[in-house]
Structure 1
């Protein structure tokens, strides 16, 4: 069974290209799964991971406005960066911003894709969150991870996220951890 990679994609460009791509993606969907041969207008795909980046892609498609298309969804193991790089060759006026994360395989990142070029920025899962949106990272750490660290009796310094905290936040985390441990003793 595949690990699910979460994908958040914003495609911006002129109205005509957005409409054409939106229609093609809609016609390629089968129960929210992208049929890659229909989308790419190919008879067959020889190597899914090389050509597409993933074996399957289940999406929600939203035409945010006349010049923006938003795609969210899950793919198998990794993001579909090669798929969108290929599409960007066909639609060179479109700009694609692509965020992805897969906590089970410990990675996350973002890419900017246009004109058949993909500028990918991939990091370890928690490092990605700390770089991309530090405020959200802190919220996740304190609201989601702190209770887990306390329940499992892990040493905070040994957790995957701790090294990405700023020094003041490390102090706060340890203070909250110690206070909670004392109340449970």
Structure 2
């Protein structure tokens, strides 16, 4: 316990003498003062990564627009073709030996309409947040320095898990999404996913 107390004291002294508050590193709300935003502004590699992400997103958006046009044409063709047909019926003898016509389950008109209704396309989502500070923070997290993420994870562990047990449990109900798992950005990630 004495060692834990000395660690807590040491961290308190460091926190009080620091130029920037730890809140800018651990806060969930992103602002222009957030560590990742300030770090982004200091290094040109993040602007280059942003340009690469946006270029890739523009290409994906163009492909998605072409796919949408193709699907719309396919839908219109199927509907037009189905309109030129009539439903097909087949003769049927019911249980009372009465003759009747029933709709053919292999009706070409209905199959074409069903095929048209089943056409789908996934939505293209822009991979970066619109708000500038959030965008900079997201890009920083994709390529955060390893030393920083290790320090942040370790500090968080000490401050939250060790020094204030039970406090991290209050947020377990929230769903957490990691950029490293987001399909549109995961191939740009260079840093390892951290705890935060």
Q: TM class by shorter-chain length?
A: under 0.3
Which of structures 1 and 2 has the larger relative contact order (alpha carbons within 8 angstroms, sep 6+)? 2
Q: Considering only CA atoms, is the larger Rg found in Structure 1 or Structure 2?
A: 2
Higher relative strand content: 1
Return the TM-score normalized by structure 1. 0.22
TM-score, normalisation: structure 2: 0.21
